[in-house]
Amino acid sequence: MQGLDPVTVIFALLAIFVVWKLKSVLGQRVEIDRAPPRAAARAGSGPLPGAAPLRPAVAPKPEDFARFADADQVRQGLADIAAADRSFDAAKFVAGAGSAYEMIVTAFAKGDRKTLTNLLSPEVFDSFAHVLDARAKAGETAETRFVGLDSTRIVEASLKDGVAHIGVRIAAKMIACVRDASGAVISGDPQKVVDADDVWAFARPIASPDPNWKLVATQAA
């Protein structure tokens, strides 16, 4: 997405772009740019639960994940994660990622920090909070209405140093705009449905007693 296309202007002057690098531990480098924040798991009973019933002790195979990912390397990564975490359920994860996407985008537009705290890694939350502070200082408000989810597909998966990383490409539709202090629309269109196509990176330490995944990075697809 280049320039001021509909998705880029969703949150106008201040938004999030996190450079995504899944080659070490979760939540590496976080940058702020002029792109919308792109979702994660609510603590407890949120959309990305990890406490699925334990599977039989059968070694997972890459081909078992063919319906969730296209690349052989990604399928192997999912198999590695499933082998290390017997409760991992790829189908539930993908469904949860879609729900989480809506929750994050909506919470960010509303300035709902409590919800965001539960969904994001500390590094990503700090970046979101910085944008929210600047938006409040300028007297601007964001409006976002989630219309629907078009597709979700796992595009990255790896297990390194006991931390599972999964990247999901999410295509969705929404209506969004930003208003100034007087209520005038300064970007976006409150009547127009726009497409969003993003990659969300989630991470979770396999040994953690917390079954929930956290959003650690985002980027435009």
SS3 label, residue 136: helix
Q: Write out pLDDT tens, residues 69-103.
A: 999 999 999 999 999 999 999 999 999 999 999 99
Beta-carbon neighbour count of residue 112 at 10 Å? 15
Decide: residue 121, CB within 10 A, 0-12 exposed, 13-18 middle, 19+ buried: buried
- 3 part of a folded domain: no
- 58 part of a folded domain: no
**123: CATH:** 3.10.450.240
Please give the pLDDT value at position 52.
53
Q: What is the DSSP string of 49-112?
A: ---PPPPPS----GGGGTTT-SSHHHHHHHHHHHHH-TT--HHHHHHHHHHHHHHHHHHHHHT-
pLDDT surpassing 50 at residue 214: yes
Please choose, from the candidates 179, 213, 217, the residue with its C-alpha nearest in 3D space to the C-alpha of residue 90.
Answer: 213
- 71 part of a folded domain: yes
Question: What's the average model confidence in pLDDT over 126-150?
Answer: 96
Pairwise CA distance, residues 179 & 75, whole Å? 43
- Pick 106 or 5 by higher pLDDT: 106
Q: Write out pLDDT tens, residues 10-60.
A: 443 333 333 333 333 333 333 323 344 443 333 333 456 444 555 556 789
SS3 label, residue 42: coil
Please choose, from the candidates 138, 157, 191, the residue with its C-alpha nearest in 3D space to the C-alpha of residue 60.
Answer: 157
- 182 part of a folded domain: yes
Domain holding 35, by residue range, is: 8-51+65-220
- Pick 221 or 153 by higher pLDDT: 153
- 149 part of a folded domain: yes
- 57 part of a folded domain: no
Please give the pLDDT value at position 55.
55
Q: What's the domain count of the chain?
A: 1
195 band by pLDDT with thresholds 50, 70 and 90: very high
Please give the pLDDT value at position 79.
98
Q: Give the global pTM.
A: 0.74
Strand order in the sheet with 163-179: 141-160, 163-179, 185-205, 214-220
- 89 part of a folded domain: yes
